[in-house]
Chain A
């Protein structure tokens, strides 16, 4: 158990809908990362937050957004969902003070868009 929690474990929804994925980092970690994992693209970095502020952005679509709250949990919002958004979404956390920090991954949320 990495100490990173994600809810829900599974999510099934329809095209055009909006969903919210939630992540709680390990105790003491200030940084949260979101990744998308699909069979054809592998694990892709989406976005990083550090202590409530956006720090880095990767291949995140405009339909997707995220935020980190004062209690350090983070939410990833996916809107106008398309079939191609079906994937595993992982959250990771790290201390965040050094670029070489170890990232610890949560168990993931499996999103299915029908």
Chain B
């Protein structure tokens, strides 16, 4: 079993829809949870960063972490065509600088 599982999609939604992206993980030592956005042929850029359990909101983006279920989510409200990209979840654990990434979910927002 991989440490981090992420549905690769692709996911296609109409403009204005609410998008839900998810990752599950098996290592209970993970404490830092991130979502990166990667446009085609570009490097990943950090979208959201959450430490431990809880919710974090930034504009149209909300990140949720449920450590009891080993499940993290990213919600995108009022999705825009510019949100079309691959979304990568990433996790880090105490005592380690290494991040473990999910394989990414490719999202297309159709105008």
Cβ–Cβ contact A48 & B103, under 8 A: no
In the assembled complex, which residues on chain B have CB atoms less than 8 Å from the CB atom of A44?
101
Interface residues on B, range: 20 to 34
Cβ–Cβ contact B88 & A43, under 8 A: yes
A:53-103 near B, CB below 8 Å: 55-56, 58, 90, 92, 94, 96, 99-103
Cβ–Cβ contact B97 & A2, under 8 A: no
In the assembled complex, which residues on chain A have CB atoms less than 8 Å from the CB atom of B36?
105
Encoded as 1 (CB less than 8 Å from any B CB) or 0, chain A from 101 to 114 comes to: 11111111010000
Neighbour of A105 across the interface among B45, B92, B100, B104, CB < 8 A = B45
Would you call A8 an interface residue if the criterion is a C-beta within 8 Å of the partner chain's C-beta atoms?
Answer: no
Number of A interface residues at 8 Å Cβ cutoff, please give it: 29
CA distance A108 to B46 in the complex (A): 15
Encoded as 1 (CB less than 8 Å from any A CB) or 0, chain B from 37 to 73 comes to: 0000111111001010000000000000000000000
Residues of A within 8 A of B (CB): 2, 4, 31, 33, 41-45, 48, 50, 55-56, 58, 90, 92, 94, 96, 99-108, 110
**Can you offer 7 A-B residue contacts whose CB atoms are under 8 A?**
A42-B88, A90-B44, A99-B92, A99-B95, A100-B92, A103-B99, A107-B42
